[in-house]
């Protein structure tokens, strides 16, 4: 062991002698601290002659003892140890470790207040963001340089082409599920043939677009928030501003345009694949041949269903892109904030898509477009 207590004090006020030997290093710090704490009360005289190795943690423990027990002193310290003790003594300054702790009740009230203020501010900032985006889009479209179509096409590839596989598979399976469940229920009325109506109307009008939007929100809103958020952390956004680039023009506008264009296309593609999936099930389980199936789909799905679906999709795309980019721009300070904002981007964009969808449902009914 590094230390060994030898109490030679005689109770007459002379310091107790405490020889410390061996290594006074960070690896032995826990033991050394206990040793020093267990030493008899009152001033100590530390004999450091037997110390073979010491580092700043060892020196700190010695310094702390000298500081906390007035009258204590060290003996037999080499020049190096003395210098190290002086070094840590000079560094003994008050230092705050954590942001000041507050009482729990105050923290809770503060948290609630911050949440409310945060929500109001975010709403205002979000509206401002949409306005800025529209203004910048108009300005760039009218100015000589124009929209950055190269960036737009890149984003269309990342959010559209690269999503074809997963969106297609998802829609195909959803088509099978709708057909399967519909067939089981409608069979009870002997109305199995209406399974085709169910598939056709559900996918083109609602599910094809909505599920695609939710998938794209998960894929692309998160990607936008993380990309822009990381750039914000790295001061890349600030660098753009100083170079004279408008981050909204360079980063946000291309993403919003890309998703606004891509979502109707992806949604149509998804609807078609859902119809194919449903058709496959009708063929295998209900013995409806493909030719009949297609014929029936053309008869029962009104064009209005298709147009309603296509009319909603660009709005969904724009909302998803705006939410993702906006949350990316809200990132500040820490890597955690990138994660938090990415999560918020996905949750909010899915929520907003569903709210918009409900709004459109009421709207189209109100104007008699069914």
Partner 1 sequence: MGEAPVISVRGLVNRFGTQVVHEGLDLDVLPGEILGVVGGSGSGKSVLLRSIIGLQHPAAGTIRVFGEEVTSPECDLLALSRRWGVLFQAGALFSGLTVAENVQVPLREHLALPEPLMDEIAAYKIAMVGLPGEAGAKYPAELSGGMRKRAALARALAMDPALLFLDEPTAGLDPVGAAAFDQLVLTLRNTMGLTLFLITHDLDTLMTICDRVAVIAEKRVLAVGSVAELTRLDHPWVRDYFLGPRGRAAAGAQAARIAAGERAVPAAAGGSAAPAQAGGA
Q: How far is the CB of 232 from partner 1 (least distance, A)?
A: 11
Q: How far is the CB of 23 from partner 1 (least distance, A)?
A: 8
Give the whole-angstrom CA distance, residue 178 versus residue 198.
8
Q: How far is the CB of 63 from partner 1 (least distance, A)?
A: 9
> How many CB atoms sit inside 10 A of residue 152's CB?
19
Q: How far is the CB of 62 from partner 1 (least distance, A)?
A: 12
Residues of the shown chain interacting with partner 1 in the complex, contacts defined by CB under 8 A? 23, 25-27, 29-30, 33, 51-57, 60, 64, 78-81, 83-84, 87-88, 90-100, 233, 332-336
Q: Which two tokens stand for residue 81?
A: 């140890």
**Residue 209: closest CA among 290, 312, 291:** 312
As a dihedral over the C-alpha atoms of residue 360, residue 361, residue 367, residue 368, rounded to 10 degrees, the angle is 150
Q: How far is the CB of 340 from partner 1 (least distance, A)?
A: 11
- Contact between 212 and 171 under an 8 Å Cβ cutoff? The reply is yes
Give the whole-angstrom CA distance, residue 118 versus residue 282.
52
Question: CA Rg, the chain, in Å?
Answer: 35
Q: Which two tokens stand for residue 203?
A: 């996918």
Q: How far is the CB of 233 from partner 1 (least distance, A)?
A: 8
State which residue, 36 or 318, has the beta carbon closest to partner 1.
36
State which residue, 79 or 366, has the beta carbon closest to partner 1.
79
Q: How far is the CB of 344 from partner 1 (least distance, A)?
A: 17
State which residue, 26 or 127, has the beta carbon closest to partner 1.
26
State which residue, 9 or 339, has the beta carbon closest to partner 1.
339
State which residue, 228 or 261, has the beta carbon closest to partner 1.
228
State which residue, 45 or 56, has the beta carbon closest to partner 1.
56
Q: How far is the CB of 213 from partner 1 (least distance, A)?
A: 32
State which residue, 52 or 295, has the beta carbon closest to partner 1.
52
Q: Is 189 exposed, middle or buried (0-12, 13-18, 19+ CB in 10 A)?
A: exposed
Count CA atoms closer than 13 A to 101's CA, side-chain side: 4
State which residue, 67 or 139, has the beta carbon closest to partner 1.
67
3-state secondary structure of 195: helix
Q: Which two tokens stand for residue 155?
A: 């984003």
Q: Which two tokens stand for residue 47?
A: 């004999």
SS (H, E, C) 15-71: CEEEEEEEEECHHHHHHHHHHHHHCCCCCEEEEEEEEEEECHHHHHHHHHHHHHCCC
Q: How far is the CB of 90 from partner 1 (least distance, A)?
A: 8
**Residue 32: closest CA among 4, 72, 67:** 4
State which residue, 61 or 288, has the beta carbon closest to partner 1.
61
State which residue, 50 or 71, has the beta carbon closest to partner 1.
50
CA 110 to chain centre: 23
First to last CA, the chain: 87
Residues 6+ apart with CB under 8 A from 231: 237, 251, 328
Q: How far is the CB of 108 from partner 1 (least distance, A)?
A: 21
């Amino acid at each position: 062991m590094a230390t060994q207590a030898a109490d030679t004090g005689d109770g007459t006020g002379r310091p107790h002698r405490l020889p410390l030997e061996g290594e006074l290093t960070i690896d032995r710090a826990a033991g050394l601290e206990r040793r020093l704490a267990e030493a008899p009360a009152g001033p100590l005289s530390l004999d450091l002659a037997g110390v073979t190795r010491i580092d700043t943690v060892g020196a700190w423990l010695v310094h702390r003892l000298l500081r906390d027990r007035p009258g204590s002193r060290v003996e037999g310290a080499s020049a190096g140890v003395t210098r190290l003790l002086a070094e840590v003594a000079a560094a003994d300054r008050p230092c705050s470790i954590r942001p000041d702790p507050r009482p729990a009740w105050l923290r809770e009230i503060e948290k609630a207040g911050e949440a409310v203020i945060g929500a109001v501010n975010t709403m205002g900032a979000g509206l401002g963001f949409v306005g800025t985006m529209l203004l910048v889009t108009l300005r760039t479209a009218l100015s000589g340089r124009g929209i950055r179509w190269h960036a737009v096409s890149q984003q269309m590839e990342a959010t559209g082409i690269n999503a074809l596989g997963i969106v297609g598979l998802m829609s195909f399976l959803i088509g099978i599920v709708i057909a399967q469940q519909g067939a089981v229920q409608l069979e009870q009325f002997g109305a199995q043939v209406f399974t085709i109506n169910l598939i056709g109307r559900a996918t083109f009008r609602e599910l094809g677009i909505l599920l695609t939007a939710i998938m794209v929100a998960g894929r692309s809103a998160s990607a936008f928030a993380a990309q822009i958020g990381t750039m914000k952390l790295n001061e890349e956004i600030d660098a753009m501003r100083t170079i004279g680039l408008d981050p909204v023009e360079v980063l946000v506008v291309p993403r919003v345009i890309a998703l606004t264009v891509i979502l109707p296309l992806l949604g149509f593609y998804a609807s078609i694949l859902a119809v194919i999936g449903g058709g496959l099930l009708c063929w295998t389980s209900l013995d409806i041949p493909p030719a009949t199936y297609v014929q029936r789909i053309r008869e029962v799905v009104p064009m209005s269903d298709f147009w309603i679906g296509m009319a909603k999709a660009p709005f969904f795309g724009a909302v998803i892109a705006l939410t993702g980019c906006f949350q990316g721009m809200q990132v500040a300070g820490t890597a955690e904030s990138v994660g938090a904002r990415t999560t918020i981007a996905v949750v909010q964009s899915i929520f907003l898509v569903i709210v918009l969808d409900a709004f459109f449902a009421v709207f189209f009914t109100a104007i008699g477009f069914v």
